[in-house]
Amino acid sequence: MVGGARRAPTVGVLALQGDVREHLAALIALGVEAITVRRPAELERCDGVVLPGGESTTMAKLARIFGLLDPLRERIACGMPAFGTCAGMILLADRIVDGAHDQETIGGLDVTVRRNAFGRQVDSFEDDLLLAGLDDPVHAVFIRAPWVEAYGPDVEVLAEAHGHPVAVRQGGLLATSFHPEVGADGRVHRLFLDLVQR
Ligand code: GLN
């Protein structure tokens, strides 16, 4: 591109359920245009999409009802960057272990994810994790979190906890078992924006 400032990207947050507000705040703090996505026309405006933490079964059902499941699959298959946190990681996974009966995912990320892998709610925990690409550890909050049980050759493991991958990247897809949207550390969202803007 010759001359002129680069337009700030538009990043959508799937806003059917979950901690949408925290992701919007993290994105706005980084200077991008952050919008909620509840319908296909909103998704069309997006250069990238965030799939928040929450309840993956509910989000998948609502995405189907709101007519967003197939548009999300198509955009991601065509290379739109996406960032899934916790339930969002499950939504991005091609395969789930311990999913609800008939639980659908958006898919795109060549991983098998185990739901509630660290135990039930009472087993939620926090940890400081080294994440590839960041100099200092990230304070990671895990809430009924999944882990990556198996992954394909194009998946890069960025961080592990309890011996399992909890942050992975494949091309423009980023997923974390934990919640970088909780707290004021915008560095993981910055990594995602780098994928959106590359
Ligand atoms: N256990 C939830 C699920 O399966 C994810 C929890 C979360 O996003 N904090 O969807």
Domain 10-196 annotated CATH 2.30.110.10: no
Q: Within 10 A of 33 (CB to CB), how many other CB atoms are there?
A: 15
Q: Can you tell me which atom of ligand 1 is nearest the CA of 179?
A: 9
User: 32-78: per-residue pLDDT in tens?
Assistant: 999 999 999 999 999 999 999 999 999 999 999 999 999 999 999 99
The answer, yes or no, to whether any atom of ligand 1 lies below 6 A from the CB of 90, is yes
- 181 catalytic residue (yes or no): yes
- 126 catalytic residue (yes or no): no
Predicted structure pTM score: 0.96
Write out the DSSP string of 99-144.
Answer: PPTT------EEEEEETTTT-SGGG-EEEEE--TT-SS-EEEEESS
- 23 catalytic residue (yes or no): no
Q: Whose CA is nearest to atom 2 of ligand 1?
A: 55
The Cα–Cα gap between 156 and 170 comes to 6
